[in-house]
Each structure stands twice: as structure tokens, then as C-alpha cells.
Amino acid sequence: GAVVSQHPSWVICKSGTSVKIECRSLDFQATTMFWYRQFPKQSLMLMATSNEGSKATYEQGVEKDKFLINHASLTLSTLTVTSAHPEDSSFYICSARVYRDRGNEQYFGPGTRLTVT
């Protein structure tokens, strides 16, 4: 149980275009999803917290107009990287939290590798 999927697992796009990454909780309802960015050999950096039906909360320094997050249902959150540039190339990971999970555990997706050329 508690499986989170991401699609696509790998994407290459041209500079100036937009790309959408989907995060789905497959066997549970996730009222809260999180988006992380990870550079090579570094830790996970939280970009934003996404609550179903409301606007995402972005971490300081994350451009909300560049990284659009939508959490329209209890099983789906999307991250759209708008007008992508080579510096946006990275590994993006989503995670999901079960509503009222007092253990605060997050279940992670397998990640999406974005390369902007």
C-alpha cells in the first residue's frame, strides 16, 4: 500500500517551453502533497506544499510563477515548469501524506529527471 507514481520518469524539453509532471497517489487519498528538487549528490530541497483544493505554499526563494502547482483532486498533483531554462534541469520528486496520519510519514514517488536543452 501507499504507492505514489510520477509521470514522466524522464523528460527532455527545449529552452522556453513548459513541461508538466504528474504525481499520483495510487491506493490512498492524499490531502497533502509535496514537491522537492534534488541536485546531484545533494539532499532534497522542498519547493512547495500542495493541499487539495487550495493554493500551494511555496518555500522561500521558489518562484511560484515558474513552478506552477495544482492539486485538483485527492490523488493528483501536478507541477508545471514554465518557460524552462537549462538551470531548471534537475531531479524532481513528489511525496504524499495521508490525511490525519499522526505518524507524519510521507510516501515518495520515483522522481522525474528533467533536462532542458
Partner 1 sequence: AQTVTQSQPEMSVQEAETVTLSCTYDTSESNYYLFWYKQPPSRQMILVIRQEAYKQQNATENRFSVNFQKAAKSFSLKISDSQLGDTAMYFCAFTPGGAQKLVFGQGTRLTINP
- Name the residues that contact partner 1, by CB under 8 A: 32, 34, 38, 41-44, 46, 49, 91, 93, 95, 97, 102-106, 108, 110-111
Question: Shortest Cβ distance from residue 83 to partner 1 (Å)?
Answer: 26
Q: Which is nearer to partner 1, 34 or 67 (CB)?
A: 34
Question: Shortest Cβ distance from residue 12 to partner 1 (Å)?
Answer: 17
Question: Shortest Cβ distance from residue 116 to partner 1 (Å)?
Answer: 19
**Torsion sign (Cα): 18, 19, 20, 21:** negative
Which position has the grid cell 522542498?
46
For residue 6, the SS3 value is strand
Question: Shortest Cβ distance from residue 106 to partner 1 (Å)?
Answer: 6
Q: Which is nearer to partner 1, 44 or 76 (CB)?
A: 44
Q: Which is nearer to partner 1, 75 or 90 (CB)?
A: 90
Strands (E), the chain: 4-7, 10-13, 19-25, 30-38, 44-51, 57-58, 67-73, 76-81, 90-98, 106-108, 112-116
Hey, which residues does 103 pair with through a beta bridge? none
